[in-house]
Amino acid sequence: MKDYYGTLGVSRDASEAEIKKAYRKLARELHPDVAGAEGEERFKEVAAAYDVLGNADKRAQYDRGVDPRSASGGAGGPQGFGFEDIFETFFGGGAGPFGQQQRGPATRTQRGGDTLVHTEITLEEAVFGVTREIQVDLADVCSTCHGSCCAPGTQPTGCRQCNGSGSVQRVARSLLGNVMTTAPCPTCGGYGSTIETPCTECSGQGRTHARHTVSVDIPAGVETGTRIRMTGVGDAGVAGGQKGDLYIEIRERAHAVFERRGSDLHCTLEVPMTAAALGTVLSVETFDGQQEVDVRPGTHAGSTVRLKGLGVGRLQRQGRGDLFVHLDVVTPTELTEEQEELLRQLAALRGEEAPEARLAPLGGGVFSRLKDAFKGR
C-alpha cells in the first residue's frame, strides 16, 4: 500500500490544515509549468495522496489499512479532487472558477498558547505526592473590553475596501486565460472589519497579563521530566479566544541518603563486623518512620534486605515500590591491644591464623552479590 503520508511529508497524526498546507506547497513546486515534464509523475502522486488524506472518510479507510483508490480501481484523476480545488491551489483564492465567494471573513479570535513552567520537588514528595502552589504569568481576558479589542463604547467598523467580506478579487493570468481569484483584504487583513479605536488597556489584543497562583496536585510517582497537563489553565487567546493549557514539568532533587531507581528506593546501612557475624536487628529512619532491619548471623558485605512497600508510589498503577537496604560490613581499623588479642584468639579457635587463599566462583561470592544488589535483585 502506498505511503500517502510520506508522499506529502506529514506525520500520521497531522491535522486537516497541515495536510492541506503540505499539499499546496508540493503542488505549486511540482506543477508542470514550474517543474517541467519531469515533475508530472510526482505531481500526480501528490494529488493522489491528497485525494485520500484530504477526505475524512477515505483517510479513515486508509488508516485501517485499505487504500480507497485501489479499492475503486484507481483510474482517472484524483477522486473528489474537483475543479475548484485546482483553482484554490494555484491561485490562492477562496473563489470558484466563476468568481463566487466561498469563505467569509476571518475571525480575530485565536486560542491561547500553552504555557510550560518548572517546579522542584523533594524525593519524599515524589514518594507520596504533594499539592504545590505555583506562581506563573498568564494572559487573561481584558477586564476593560472583555475581549472585544475595542475601547469601551465602540465596536469594529466594516471594511470599506472589501465591504466586510474580508477578501478582494483580482484577475490573474493562467493557462486557461484570465481567472478571477480572491486574496485577503490588505486593509482589514481578512477580518472584514477594522478597529478604529482599540482598547488602551490591552492595546487592542483583548487580553492582559498578570501573575497567578495555581494550585497543582502532583501525584506520587512523578520524576524528573514528568509533565502534568492542566487543561484550559494557560494563556487566554487573542480577542477573547479560549485558554490554552498549562504544563508543569517536574524536577526532582537528589536525596542525601536514598537513591531512587524507578519505583524502588535504595540505601546503604553500615553494620559492625561483630553484628554481621552474630546477627542483630537495627532500626533505620525511612520516609515511613522507623523500620527494623533484620541482620542475620553471618551476613556478608553486599547483602541486601528488602522492605516491601516502602518505595515510591507508582504513577499509573496501585501500590508502591520497595526499599532495598544494602548492608556494608564495617571492619575495624583501630584496635586496642586487648581487642587485637581477642581477635587473634578467635582466629586461632577458627584455625585462621594463616588462612589459605581460596578463589570463589564467578557465579557467587561478594562481587556477584554486589552486582545483584546494584540491579535491585
Whether 142 has a binding-site annotation, put simply, is: yes
Q: What are phi and psi of 283, to 5 degrees?
A: -105, 130
Report which secondary-structure segment, H or E, holds 84. helix 83-91
Whether 149 has a binding-site annotation, put simply, is: no
CA dist 188 and 204 (Å) reads: 14
CA dist 16 and 271 (Å) reads: 65
CA dist 328 and 331 (Å) reads: 9
Residue 90 neighbours by CB distance under 10 Å: 19
Instruction: Name the residue with cell 494557560.
Output: 234
- Name the residue among 27, 93, 91 with its Cα closest to residue 54: 27
Ramachandran assignment for 297, one of left (phi > 0), alpha (psi -120 to 50 degrees), beta (any other): beta
Cβ distance 226 to 321 under 8 Å? no
Polymer length of the chain: 377
What SS3 state is found at 213? strand
Whether 150 has a binding-site annotation, put simply, is: no
Cβ distance 22 to 29 under 8 Å? no
CA dist 1 and 67 (Å) reads: 7
What SS3 state is found at 40? helix
Whether 267 has a binding-site annotation, put simply, is: no
Cβ distance 152 to 144 under 8 Å? yes
Q: What are phi and psi of 248, to 5 degrees?
A: -110, 115
CA dist 11 and 14 (Å) reads: 5
Enter the C-alpha cell of residue 75.
Answer: 483510474
CA dist 117 and 234 (Å) reads: 11
Exposed e or buried b for every residue in 252-286, given b needs 16+ CB within 10 A? beebeebebeebbbbbeeebeeebbeeebebeeeb
Binding residues for Zn(2+): 142, 145, 159, 162, 185, 188, 199, 202
Binding residues: 142, 145, 159, 162, 185, 188, 199, 202
